[in-house]
Amino acid sequence: MSEKKVANLYLLPLLIASILLADLGYSQHINTITATLEEETQEINIQQEFIYTNHTNFPLDTLYFNDWAHAYSNKNTALAKRFADEFKKSLHLAKDKERGATEIFSIVDDEYRALLWNRTEGRDIVRIILNSTLKPQSSVKIFITYTVKLPPNRYTPYGYDPRGGYYLKDWYLTPAVFERGKWELYSNKNLEDLYTDITDTNINFTFPDSLFLGTNLNEISVTQFPNSQNASIRGKNRLSCDIILNPNKKFIKHVTPHLIVVTDIKANKYDEVLQGVSINRVTKFIHENLGDFPYEQLLVSEIDFDKNPLYGLNQLPSFIRPYTNQFQFEMKFLKTALRSYMKETIFLNPRKEKWVTDALVNYLMIKYVEDFYPNQKLLGKLANVWGVRSFHLAEMDFNEQYPFLYMFTARRNLDQALITPNDSLIKFNQKIANTYKAGLGLSYLAAYIGKENIDASVMEFYETYKLKRVSSLYFENILKRNSDKDIDWFFKTYVGTSKRIDYKIKKVRKTEDSINLILKNKTGTNVPISLFGINKDSVVSKYWFPDVESEKSITIPRKGEERLVLNYDQKIPEFNQRDNWKTLNGFFSSNKKIKLQFFKDSEDPYYNQIFFMPIANFNIYDGLTPGIRFTNKTLLERPFIFDIAPQYALLEQSLVGYGRFNYRKYHGKSGLFVTNYALGGSTFHFQENSRYSTITPSVTFGWRPADLISNHRNTLVFRYVNVFRDIDENLELETDPDYSVLNVRFNNFNNGIIDYFAWFADAQHSADFSKLAFNLEYRKLFQNNTQFNIRFFAGKFLRNKTDSDFFSFALDRPTDYLFDYNYLGRSEDSGITSQQIIIAEGGFKSQLENPFANDWMATTNLSFSLWRWIELYGDAGLVKNKGVNTRFVYDSGIRLNLVTDFFELYFPLYSNNGWEIAQPNYDERIRFVVTLSPRTLIGLFTRKWF
């Protein structure tokens, strides 16, 4: 044997050993902390000794440590910016004393020589420059002395609460991860995805004697002292230490045959003995499906559940909870325990590969329900209630929520690939849709390659790679090894893209002993599709068909099928299931029946659903207008929507209402992403015994950036507004009663809560006029919490043959000849409804003489905050009418900005009218902005999710 071959034989074990050390050697980091919690100041004084071992093959001159407690320190951190994206400004508005921060006093090496350090751009990562290069497999000892000022828990669940409790998470400095030749540095964005290296951690923690402690590490001992107590906490091969302190003893230790659980999760109406039985059942299930938990105990806390609850019906008030106490408790405990299990033992990159742990957690939750609650309905006990049981939603099984909630964003064209980084997901996807899609993906794969293969793969992955630094490739390799079918599609398409799955049965021909059908792949997403043969409610045959790229002719034997249904068991998150079935009983039986149903429901693929529900509107001419709304709009968005609402005007004693037909076509995720075709109409009264009716066809194009978190949007709208007016005999109109206007508008807006910027350019053409308008608005919330608003409007008539001001630009109250605005009394010039203002065109708040312009107008509206929601405003502009000199106009006053654009009050002070506050009937000069639309108000609360 040659010397070279001998050398290679000796090198091979060394190479294998080095690979194993790269995975297993992380425990060589040793972290020793002495910490004291000061109750009076909500500060933790920390002395930290850290022995850092260079496990890489690279010499290191610099080390990085995560300091996520400092993310609360100011308004420019990554955390503060993330909050702004989610329309949360609590951290921005906080006073300095209400913030969290880390004050580092010294960082020295083992010879007590000072180490240079600074913070990275995100402010919550500390860069430490070593005095000498740290060679591979060498260690350096660092001493860090610092104080952590805890934030109140109103920004996130972390920090101190008003009742004297504390939740300490990511509260001390932890080592960042160096892998593949670079540092993986991630700022705190409140996403539960700290990526830190593995350490052996020893903590001596001193805290007030009035508090009780719970922790995810091993609690060695607690020693009592006068006015304080000291806990000795240990953890081997751990990421970080969580500590929960409560004024009352909430945590109970459950010793089960498979796992020791420390938990404060309780159910008030579920007997404590039965809770113990349920905990035993859950821990046994987890042990049987994953394996041994490698640590002394598992912390399962109420706070952790609150961060990731069972979304949906479980969040309803307790008096209308639809599930049994046992089911509710077990699902709550199971989800929290599984997430804690994964967080403590599977060391993936949580920002880049969160989908793996999401898949494991949700797959096991689906499996748990299948094993123990196979007949559980999504609506629980409500499914049997009269008036509810007729809904398709009541027929849905509990596990059908997974494709349903994933489809909630997919139908809105907001779905994102599972491999999308955690901080690039919109909130609904990060919290719900992607986690459900991941778990559903394993369930889909189990149905295709065999449940036993997936179960074995899950256990093998956990047992082999727990407490090791791994990537999703490890999981992929195990799944492929345990499958006798090609499953590349799962990782390349299902996980790696956001492509939609959508099949249909195109044609069916039957003979005495066989059935021939053509399957059509509507989206080109080539993944396996299941086909079921159904007789009544029983499955008589089942097949899987891979490689249906476009169309595929298939022949199957007849086994007494009455219907053929694709994806009957809902294992595949298919985009549209309305065309998934064909009956074998003749042509006419294939036609879907119309199902008229009260209130909105989930989509039933076997019926053409029409929903009806009561509605009511109000204006001072029609009065209250109760009516019935008919629509085909389900809980999930669909391409074609009709919405028709006949109403009865109680004051006018006549029919009014609206109708709209809408078709939406999505093109992609970014750029030109949507085209919307619509035909709408309405008819209401604009004065007593005077009716207006509109018919408006329109086309809208929408653009957005690739970053779906961004609030930036562009739209281009083409519409042709046709107005018909029937007037009272005693009413004289200054214009023709009927007219049509071609309107083109380009909108650009970025609806940020800190920086708001929007503009539009508008062109209108009618038989009697042509006009152009430009509107720009900017709103800024400054560092000192002062808010500044500026708005600019300019409009110019290109031609104007009208003899009235009905189509003119208006300073303070546009005539709204296109009937776009929700005026309570659009024709009023006195009374409370005449004081309603909609900020449009001139945007003035004072009612000035001659407020119209039939040539051109240019105005500026300014306001800035004086204290909280009290602002000072001022408007100024130029008004030009034909044959009249240009006129300068202005006003000023106080604005109560209670809810911006939704509820505001304006109190004029000084204008062209003089000192308005000193003039008679001042109360009639006060103006208000009010929005009564429930859909618009709900948007205030849902916008952070999408």
With respect to residue 744, please indicate whether it lies within any of the assigned structural domains. no
| Residue whose tokens read 């309603």 | 836
With respect to residue 23, please indicate whether it lies within any of the assigned structural domains. no
With respect to residue 356, please indicate whether it lies within any of the assigned structural domains. no
With respect to residue 279, please indicate whether it lies within any of the assigned structural domains. yes
Round to whole Å and give the CA distance between 333 and 263.
9
Instruction: Provide the pairing of β-strand 199-208 with 30-38.
Output: parallel
For residue 588, the model assigns a pLDDT of 53
With respect to residue 167, please indicate whether it lies within any of the assigned structural domains. no
Query: Which residues partner with 646 through β-bridges?
Result: 657
Round to whole Å and give the CA distance between 158 and 150.
8
Q: Using the 3D structure, point to which of 562, 591, 620 is the last residue of a domain.
A: 591
CA-atom Rg of the chain in angstroms: 33
Q: CB atoms < 10 A from the CB of 53, how many?
A: 20
CA distances in angstroms from 17 to 466, 467, 696, listed in the order given? 18, 17, 73
Round to whole Å and give the CA distance between 189 and 715.
30
Longest dimension (CA), the chain: 115
Residues of the chain with pLDDT under 70: 1-27, 313-319, 586-591, 933-937, 939-941
Q: Using the 3D structure, point to which of 544, 570, 591 is the last residue of a domain.
A: 591
Q: Could you give the number of structural domains in the chain? A: 3
Q: CB atoms < 10 A from the CB of 778, how many?
A: 15
The H or E element spanning position 120 is none
For residue 310, the model assigns a pLDDT of 84
Give the domain extent around 853.
752-946
- pLDDT digits over 765-796, tens only? 999 999 999 999 999 988 888 889 999 999 99
- pLDDT digits over 199-252, tens only? 999 999 999 999 999 999 999 999 999 989 999 999 999 999 999 999 998 899
List the end-to-end C-alpha distance of the chain, in Å, as a whole number.
Answer: 67
Q: CB atoms < 10 A from the CB of 615, how many?
A: 16
With respect to residue 187, please indicate whether it lies within any of the assigned structural domains. no
Q: Is 533 helix (H, G, I), strand (E, B) or coil?
A: strand
In terms of Cβ atoms closer than 10 Å to its own Cβ (0-12, 13-18, 19+), residue 784 is exposed
Confirm if 434 and 425 have CB atoms less than 8 A apart.
yes
Q: Is 277 helix (H, G, I), strand (E, B) or coil?
A: helix
Q: Using the 3D structure, point to which of 591, 619, 635 is the last residue of a domain.
A: 591
With respect to residue 401, please indicate whether it lies within any of the assigned structural domains. no
**CATH number where 559 lies:** 2.60.40.10
Confirm if 927 and 909 have CB atoms less than 8 A apart.
no
With respect to residue 929, please indicate whether it lies within any of the assigned structural domains. yes
